[in-house]
Amino acid sequence: MNARTRIVASIGTAIVAVITLNTPAQAQAAPTDPQIVGIVIAANQIDIDYAESALAKSETKQIRDFAQQMVADHSALQKSVFDLGAKLKVTPAESDTSNALKAQAKETATKLKAVRGKAFDTAYIDNEIAYHQAVIDSVNKVLIPNAQNAELKAALTGAVPLFQGHLEHAKNVQAALK
């Protein structure tokens, strides 16, 4: 297994474990609505941060265009999440899940910093594929089923096609780079 594959494998496994509550700390408690909003906010910010590191580091047009789209899309989604939280009077709350996501993202960012050029481009886009797949799985399996407020549930459901679009676009970029 090469370095790139190790990065991707560890990212995907860790994120899925964190968000699907398969680690001992989270195994008992399903997230509340404030915690769900906190998790979505954390997940959006993480991808914005990954994209900004790509814009700072990559010179490849497809990577830069994709990263620019991630900043734009996740920022728009972030705004809609904050607006919805304000409308529903749901204050985002931290949770073990959102904190674990942030910790995992910090580790990933460190690994991405260690590579450059084509290796960075490949690691970044591979991570985007693993990350978006993990987010889609967690939204479908954990966040939507546990959301109590109907409007929050509908908003989460509505966000899934956007994440799926990102996943497909990332796969197209990955194919183009090979």
Partner 1 sequence: MLRHPSSKRSMVSRGFVLAVLFLAPVPWPDGQKATAQSLKAATTKTAARRRHTVVIKDVKYEPPILTVKLGSIVEWKNADIVAHTVTAVDKSFDSRIIPPGASWKLTARKTGTFDYICTLHPNMRAKLVVQ
Q: Is 151 in the site for partner 1 (CB under 8 A)?
A: no
Cβ-defined contacts of 23-31 (< 8 Å, 24+)? 23/100, 25/96, 25/100, 26/96, 26/97, 26/100, 30/142, 30/146, 31/95, 31/97, 31/142, 31/143, 31/146
Of 4 and 153, nearer to partner 1 (C-beta) is 153
Q: For residue 89, give the amino acid letter.
A: K
**Residue 132 touches partner 1, criterion: CB under 8 A:** no
Residue 110 belongs to what H/E stretch? helix 96-113
Question: What's the CA angle centered on 64, arms 136 and 62, to 5 degrees?
Answer: 85
Choices 24-32, 65-73, 102-110, 112-120 (CB under 8 A): range interacting with partner 1: 65-73
Instruction: List the one residue from 36, 84, 166, 174 that touches partner 1 (CB under 8 A).
Output: 166
Tell me, residue by residue from 74 to 113, as one string, x for binding to partner 1 by CB under 8 A and - for no binding: --xx-xx---------------------------------
| Interface with partner 1, residue 158, by CB under 8 A | yes
The two structure tokens encoding residue 138: 């967690």
Residue 117 vs 158, nearer CB to partner 1: 158
Structure tokens at 162: 């956007």
Binding site for partner 1 (CB under 8 A): 69, 72-73, 76-77, 79-80, 158, 161-162, 164-166, 168-169, 172
